[in-house]
Amino acid sequence: MTKAIKLRFNRKQLCIPYAAFLVLFVICPLLVIIYYAFTDGTGQITFENFINFFSNTNTLGTLLNSIAISAVTTLVCLVIAYPVAYILARSKFKKKYVLLMLFVLPMWINFTLRITALKEILTAIETNIAMYPFLNTVIGMSYDFLPFMILPLYTSLSKLDKSLTEAAEDLGAGGFTVFMRVILPLSVPGIISGVTMVLLPSMTNYVVLDMLYNSTYIMGSLIGSYFAAYDWNNGSMISLVLLVIIFVITLVTNRFSDSGETGGRTNIL
């Protein structure tokens, strides 16, 4: 190898391709979204899309519906997952890792196939699944996102120092007090990260609704229908609204969780 063609670089320069990639495919698309949200089809600056969104009872209703669905789904997942994670974390069962695997294994099966399975069951039980849109949406979303709630809860509960609960018991606290004043506060980071992993997708994953023959809309469905109508400006407006919601949620949750850099799907690692 002659000196002329020898690869010479500084380690720092290795981040250039990735930085360029992030700028091009992450930052630029967001800037373009903001531009499209405040222009009309001919490129004129306008607030029409903004006013459209906030004056239209349909879109506002959709926003409220998504908030309701995501809140209820998150609550249902939390109520189901917390006891599961708690029991698994505290069990003395030797192979409890296998049990945990059983609970999170479905997340590796394509979610559209899982919802297909759920749909068949719901149809068999309810005959006409279009009759219960809200109930079925919540069931579908919970079915889809449950593993993402169990995993962070389990992680935070299994890290919990047993001597703390023992100390509380020795000092005379009853089972309920120990849970409320020691275990629950210490598992808040797990709760927060589980909540963020369920809250957001259940506001936007409209495929679950579509597959369950649902005629109601959530925020994601609006983007889907604007996409189908080639209405990039109004679609961008909805995306922008979602981005703001996501930004606020991230800010709030970063305050509560101890490490700011984890979050979202990182927990699968």
Give the whole-angstrom CA distance, residue 20 versus residue 68: 39
Sign of the dihedral defined by the CA atoms of residues 138, 140, 141, 142, in that order: positive
Site string for another protein, 54-83 (x = CB under 8 A): --------------------------x--x
Choice from 2, 98, 170, 172 touching another protein (CB under 8 A):
98
In the complex with another protein, the residue whose CB is nearer, 169 or 210, is 210
Stretch that binds another protein, among 32-40, 45-53, 67-75, 161-169 (CB under 8 A): 32-40
In the complex with another protein, the residue whose CB is nearer, 182 or 240, is 240
Least distance in angstroms from the C-beta of 255 to another protein: 14
Contact status: 160 vs another protein (CB under 8 A): no
Other CB atoms within 10 Å distance of the CB of residue 104: 15
Least distance in angstroms from the C-beta of 182 to another protein: 18
Contact status: 132 vs another protein (CB under 8 A): no
Give the whole-angstrom CA distance, residue 77 versus residue 80: 5
Give the whole-angstrom CA distance, residue 179 versus residue 181: 6
Query: What is the three-class DSSP state of 211?
Result: helix
In the complex with another protein, the residue whose CB is nearer, 45 or 124, is 124
Contact status: 97 vs another protein (CB under 8 A): yes
**φ and ψ at residue 45, rounded to 5 degrees:** -70, 130
Please list every residue from 199 through 258 that binds another protein, using CB under 8 A.
200-201, 203-207, 210-211, 220, 223-224, 227, 232, 235-236, 239, 242-243, 246, 250
Choice from 40, 67, 119, 186 touching another protein (CB under 8 A):
119
Please list every residue from 169 through 198 that binds another protein, using CB under 8 A.
196
Task: Give me 236's structure tokens.
Answer: 């961008």
Q: Residue 73: is it exposed, middle or buried by C-beta count within 10 angstroms (0-12/13-18/19+)?
A: buried
DSSP 19-77: HHHHIIIIIHHHHHHHHHHTB-TTS-B-SHHHHHHHH-HHHHHHHHHHHHHHHHHHHHH
Choice from 2, 8, 57, 258 touching another protein (CB under 8 A):
8
Number of residues that bind another protein (CB under 8 A): 86
